[in-house]
Structure 1
């Protein structure tokens, strides 16, 4: 009897130790709201939306203590459309499916599908509107929401506030830069600009954090399935830099981004079919300059307001667009908050950027500007503006 008691005690101690050395966490968030937009090709629209503030998601992450300060880590994460129950990001665990090792001294190494963790998405940290629907990705047609799979990633430990990060996508293709079907969960494709695999992607990030300010710089490359930089909004080089400064309850944001796609051409994008009608003198842009300035004010413990202005100028006659935003959040608890945002885009005469995400408003004319070849998209008419407003609730677990 005594032996059995001792054995039970030992097994209990071992189970407790194992529990202390490893952990598995289920987490997620649900974001649902209502949105109104005007200036669409067919007028205005009221719609139920999932993910205007941030994509709904469900995930599992875990860590196992291997000793010596090293942990084995993993993460599986899926995007959700909680209005209709479907999953997003192209596959079941399209947001993340990684495994790796982490050490407080040597940093963190991961392998797998980075999905929504493509290195350019770290730019949300420089965005006054934290990458919600009308934010840093809008005027570059979703370029900052790119994804990456089949990848390797290394992040250093912090050295006096400085952290470095590198990411590389192997593509799984027999050509170094090109992509193969399923090589990455990207946005690239044919005349719509969406839907098939990317080619190679890679990037570097440097970030410095101090007590009241932050500096960040990101360089990344995303190639099309042929290994080229063929669309400034999809397959391009990006260099982005900016910073934040905090003054009491106010945080000020500023940033600049340059996109370059030297291989871009109308023929390469529209194919051999009759090109979509474009304003006179324009062709697919090969460069875009994008800058923004904004501030977030923590009005009370529970209420916050953010305001920001974004501006983008595309070459090859494509003009410029400016977006004005105002947003607010109110915390109902530590896990649940209400949100709302207003956004307005003003386009020059040869620009038609809308409030979409790059999927709904890719480069090209809408059906009003080109009834024969115009795309079924949400782009405003050339030279016209677009207004949007949404409100919703987010809960996290």
Structure 2
């Protein structure tokens, strides 16, 4: 009888422990079609995956450790759902997130591992009227707001204190030299402060990403960034305003991968960029939303200026599925060739070999585009 009672108690304890843990499978799929003008090879009609947002799948869970403390984990990988392949290259199964950590209601959350797409600058989507779509906050800074993943990183986020919250990140290079790395990216670190109040929010994000040899040598990749942005809601309309400054004092044509001869006269690798934007999101109805924004970038006070105009919309078919569209137009100065999608720095054509190098428009030329698609979440 006593053994039976013990067995029942153990079974009950196991059931309770199981009830205090949770594992969730989740994901989303985004496929669409786009049409863009102005590239070196002409206008292009293409089927694309992830124009509104990346397609991904993942597992996340927690275990209640008692006293308001929980162990947590998150594994997340990105997909190209037009081809079915993993985005990020072979072997990149969980390239977006692979972390384990602990959270406590009073003391905050600590994570370590591949923070990946959680790099602190990516939180700037909260200050972006277009929520980091294809034509959005990252376009005129050539992808600097969704930088290379944070591998071997650590993150701590405080609880919210009456709407005020802080976050910090640090990435080890796993190299004997403090700043240097054997991978394509050197040491990175960042700090963020957000304040949320009744009608809006305000955020400040500072981060540093170094080259493998520890330098700030590419303003669009290995640089310092300070971003200030906020939102304010009036009725059905949410207004956005933001500013970002990028600095890479070590940048040269060679460090960004171009030669002096390949660049037009008066064009050289910028060492600083000022980036501003303003926009609004209008919730027309429960199912329909419209977004509009203007972005402007000024590189080295004249060496690569561009302005981008965007207009987008979504229509909810259900709680988990929606249709989307966005149109964009970028106007470049004579020393700029930024495409709507950001693109790599440098000339788009090698005259010596008659080779098209990238999808950038010609210097001083504009580009227009539009895309539409469907996203579903599970």
Structure 2 residue aligned with 1:362: 344
Give distance in 2, aligned partners of 1:48 and 1:227.
Answer: 38
Check the 8 A contact 2:347/2:357 in 1, yes or no: no
Unaligned runs of 5+ in 2: none
Structure 2 residue aligned with 1:162: 164
Give distance in 1, aligned partners of 2:51 and 2:261.
Answer: 30
Check the 8 A contact 1:276/1:373 in 2, yes or no: no
Check the 8 A contact 1:364/1:374 in 2, yes or no: no
Structure 1 residue aligned with 2:196: 209
Provide the secondary structure at the position in 2 that maps to 1:292: strand
Structure 1 residues 46 and 107: alpha-carbon distance in aligned structure 2, compared to 1, 3 A threshold:
same
| Residue deviations 1:356-382 (CA, integer Å, cap 9, x gap) | 24xxx2111112x74648652110011
Give distance in 2, aligned partners of 1:306 and 1:15.
Answer: 50
Structure 1 residue aligned with 2:357: 376
Give distance in 1, aligned partners of 2:254 and 2:345.
Answer: 14
Q: Are residue 133 (structure 1) and residue 134 (structure 2) matched?
A: yes
Give distance in 2, aligned partners of 1:270 and 1:161.
Answer: 43
Structure 1 residue aligned with 2:49: 50
Give distance in 1, aligned partners of 2:76 and 2:254.
Answer: 38
1:213 shift after superposition:
1.2
Provide the secondary structure at the position in 1 that maps to 2:214: coil
Aligned match for 2:280, one of 284, 295, 311: 295
Q: Which moved more, 1:260-269 or 1:373-382?
A: 373-382
Structure 1 residue aligned with 2:214: 227
Provide the secondary structure at the position in 2 that maps to 1:270: coil
Give distance in 1, aligned partners of 2:231 and 2:126.
Answer: 9
Give distance in 2, aligned partners of 1:165 and 1:72.
Answer: 19
Give distance in 2, aligned partners of 1:239 and 1:31.
Answer: 31
Give the alignment's TM-score, normalised by structure 2: 0.95
1:279 shift after superposition:
2.4
Say what the alpha-carbon RMSD is for the aligned residues. Answer: 1.7
Provide the secondary structure at the position in 2 that maps to 1:145: coil
| Residue deviations 1:303-324 (CA, integer Å, cap 9, x gap) | 0000000000101752310000
Structure 2 residue aligned with 1:184: none
Q: Are residue 318 (structure 1) and residue 303 (structure 2) matched?
A: yes
Structure 1 residue aligned with 2:76: 77
1:156 shift after superposition:
0.3
Provide the secondary structure at the position in 2 that maps to 1:144: coil
Unaligned runs of 5+ in 1: 182-196
Give distance in 2, aligned partners of 1:120 and 1:312.
Answer: 17
Q: Which moved more, 1:8-17 or 1:384-393?
A: 8-17
Check the 8 A contact 2:256/2:345 in 1, yes or no: no
Aligned match for 1:250, one of 223, 230, 237: 237
* Residues paired across the two proteins, number: 375
